[in-house]
Amino acid sequence: MKEYIEIIRPSIVFLSALGVMIGAIASKATILNLVLAIASVALISSAGIVTNDYYDYEIDKINAPHRPLPSGRISKKFAKIYALFLFIIGTAIASLINIYCFALAIINSFLEFFYARNLKRIALIGNATDSWFVASTFIYGYLASLGKELIIADNFYLIFIFSLLSFFANIGREIFGDIEDLNGDKKLGLKTLPIITSVKFSRFIASSFIILAVILSPLPFLLGFFSYEYIAIVLIADLLFIYSIFQEPKKNQKISKFAMLIAIIAFLVGILAQS
């Protein structure tokens, strides 16, 4: 049973759940819809990760042989069943919230499949798609607060800023991940950015996205949404992001993931300080 938890990468699922929680709290969703939104996104995110590992089986035999699938602790057949089960339950729960959450859940579920099978192997498009999944968790939390009518409230613009910052930070992190996986990806004929260009150019592009996120991070404060509590915490995340771009890809992945967690905490503190 341990391998079925390991394969979904709980730390990634946890960050997705936090994104939904922030979007829902900022939008004043009901407690029930908040719980349902977190559960559905956690399940769909888990399904996407399992699907990704299923299609990355040959790649992971080179880049990450310790993972449950390439190590043989989970068979490809059961991984496929497991992913399908998670997708079905996740979208079923989304249907209990409202039509908007259900629609986004369906769109992202299909997109997760095409990303794992096709899009991931296309330079930048794959990185951007994965970053959309991260950014859309905030939007999903916002949608969980809506009734029958789709109303663009003031807090939508705050949610949009959250999504934009996470999108830029994650696309940079993803490109650093492609650099880390360069050798295995090259052997399998993939067309990631560092393969079709160079490691140096890819580091420049990845760093540029991360720096863009850092530059834009004060926006919630400058636009009057948040006070100094937000700035104090997001500054820590910004420093970690900047530090990460000077590290080797493997270390960058760890530091930038921690920086994203700190940034999410800054968002949450900013929202709670508004109350």
Report the C-alpha dihedral over residues 10, 17, 167, 148, rounded to 10 degrees: 150
- In angstroms, what is the C-alpha Rg of the chain? 18
pLDDT of residue 151: 61
Alpha-carbon distance of 101 to 34, in angstroms, equals: 11
Q: Mean pLDDT, to the nearest integer, of 98-114?
A: 95
With a cut of 80, say whether residue 147 has pLDDT above it.
no
pLDDT of residue 69: 87
The residues with which 122 forms a beta bridge, in sequence order, are 191
Q: Which residue has the higher pLDDT, 61 or 242?
A: 242
Structural domain span for residue 265: 2-274
- Could you give the number of structural domains in the chain? 1
Alpha-carbon distance of 273 to 37, in angstroms, equals: 23
Q: What's the whole-model pTM score?
A: 0.90
Of 23-37, 62-76, 163-177, 204-218, the range with the lowest mean pLDDT is 62-76
Q: What is the CATH number of the domain that holds 185?
A: 1.10.357.140
Q: What is the mean pLDDT of the chain?
A: 91
